[in-house]
Amino acid sequence: MSAHIIDGNALSRQLRTEVAARVQALKAKGVTPGLAVVLVGDHPASQVYVRNKVKACEDTGLHSVLEKYEASMSEATLLARVAALNQDPSIHGILVQLPLPDHIDAHKVIEAISPAKDVDGFHMASAGALMTGMPGFWPCTPYGCMKMLESIGYELRGKHAVVIGRSNIVGKPMALMLLQKNATVTICHSATADLKAMTLQADVIVAAVGKRGVLTADMIKPGAVVLDVGMNRNDQGKLCGDVDFAGVQQVASHITPVPGGVGPMTITMLLVNTLEAAERASN
Ligand code: NAP
């Protein structure tokens, strides 16, 4: 068997077309959804990420502002910028690119963002909303994974989902979203005694670790759906995920590639959240 590949680029194109149409409808009512992206320092990967986010906004008709600051920027100045963006009516979503320089408390900065503009879904209010099933913003990466499952018509009710990784931005919210859709969820992490024993029971596996080769073909049951969130480099320096794609593809029913899988979906869901924020603000 060779698994069906869930194409994150194709699904993103489809969703972005829908976003662009909703943006036009909102613009007709006099509201242009706006995203502010704040970058502090010159972390090379972050520069690429923010550029891609701004370009995605431009391509779908959203207004975007990129604010770049020196790594020496003080925490107080950054907090003042966030406070100003909270008050800016042309901005509906605020994204502070992580990581921040060591002298800035990232938690404090995220908590300073108005929950109504927390389109990254990292604020504690957003986390609480997800946990309690209330309206809020879902973190973009796991939200994108849910859209990928939806795109293949996958019914999660009664299925066993195993999430590998328990970070606040991927693993934990992923588990909560799967739970909300009535899957039975197991969360694995670095202290899990026997990862293979867990993954072999899974109907759905989400790998969000950041180590290549964490999930191999012998660790999954035939027909499992495998979503690969990991972003790593192989020996040739090429982007790869956590999953041994070539091997797992022979056993799984569906699999996401890296690149071209979860990555583009993350940016797409940022656009969706920003649009949603603008729609809520306009109502
Ligand atoms: P993170 O904060 O470093 O979390 C990694 C998790 O993996 C931790 O919970 C850790 O366990 C667990 N882990 C480490 N080694 C393990 C092992 N051998 N077996 C099982 N679990 C293990 O990373 P993250 O921010 O969640 O990101 C995870 C990966 O996704 C990274 O490669 C990141 O670059 C990628 N990512 C991709 C996107 C995208 O758009 N495609 C977005 C975000 C992140 P402990 O908690 O016990 O330490």
- Residue 57 Cα to ligand 1 middle (Å): 27
Q: pLDDT by residue (tens digit) across 25-53?
A: 999 999 999 999 999 999 999 999 999 99
- Residue 102 Cα to ligand 1 middle (Å): 20
Q: pLDDT by residue (tens digit) across 120-172?
A: 999 999 999 999 999 999 999 999 999 999 999 999 999 999 999 999 999 99
- Please provide the average confidence, as pLDDT, over all residues in the chain: 97
Q: Give yes or no: residues 52 and 153 share one domain.
A: no
Residue by residue, DSSP assigns 14-31 as: HHHHHHHHHHHHHHHTT-
Residue 278 falls inside a structural domain = no
Report which protein residue has its CA nearest ligand 1's atom 34: 231
Please give the tally of structural domains in the chain: 2
* Radius of gyration for the alpha carbons in the chain, expressed in angstroms and rounded: 19
Q: Which helix (H) or strand (E) holds 245?
A: helix 245-248
Largest Cα–Cα separation, the chain: 56
pTM: 0.98
Q: Give yes or no: residues 92 and 147 share one domain.
A: no
- Using CA atoms, how far apart are residues 28 and 25, in angstroms rounded to an integer? 5
Q: Give yes or no: residues 149 and 109 share one domain.
A: no
Indicate the burial class of 253 (C-beta count within 10 angstroms; 0-12, 13-18, 19 or more).
middle
Mean pLDDT confidence for 92-97 = 98
47 as an active site residue: the answer is: no
Tokens coding 132: 């309690």
For ligand 1, is residue 98 a contact (CB within 6 Å)? no
Mean pLDDT confidence for 4-18 = 98
Which atom from ligand 1 is nearest to the alpha carbon of 191?
47
- Using CA atoms, how far apart are residues 125 and 5, in angstroms rounded to an integer? 35
Using the predicted structure, report yes or no on whether residue 1 has a pLDDT greater than 90.
Answer: no
For ligand 1, is residue 170 a contact (CB within 6 Å)? yes
Q: pLDDT by residue (tens digit) across 260-277?
A: 999 999 999 999 999 999
Residue 73 falls inside a structural domain = yes
In the chain the beta strands, taken as DSSP E runs, fall at 4-5, 34-40, 63-69, 93-96, 160-164, 184-188, 204-207, 225-228, 232-233, 239-240, 254-255
- Using CA atoms, how far apart are residues 274 and 63, in angstroms rounded to an integer? 10
Q: What is the pLDDT of residue 283?
A: 86
Residue 144 falls inside a structural domain = yes
Residue 246 falls inside a structural domain = yes
CA distances from 239 to 212, 228, 259 (A): 10, 12, 6
Q: What is the pLDDT of residue 139?
A: 98
Question: pLDDT class for 83, splitting at 50, 70, 90?
Answer: very high
Q: Are 220 and 251 in contact (CB under 8 A)?
A: yes
Q: Are 38 and 75 in contact (CB under 8 A)?
A: no
Q: Are 212 and 232 in contact (CB under 8 A)?
A: yes
Which residues form the domain of 69?
30-115
- Give me the catalytic one of 97, 117, 118, 244: 97
74: which residues sit within 8 A by CB, 6+ positions away? 103
- Using CA atoms, how far apart are residues 234 and 254, in angstroms rounded to an integer? 22
Q: Give yes or no: residues 56 and 158 share one domain.
A: no
Last residue of a domain, one of 99, 115, 131: 115
- Residue 207 Cα to ligand 1 middle (Å): 8
Q: Give yes or no: residues 105 and 162 share one domain.
A: no
Residue 134 falls inside a structural domain = no
Q: pLDDT by residue (tens digit) across 208-261?
A: 999 999 999 999 999 999 999 999 999 999 999 999 999 999 999 999 999 999
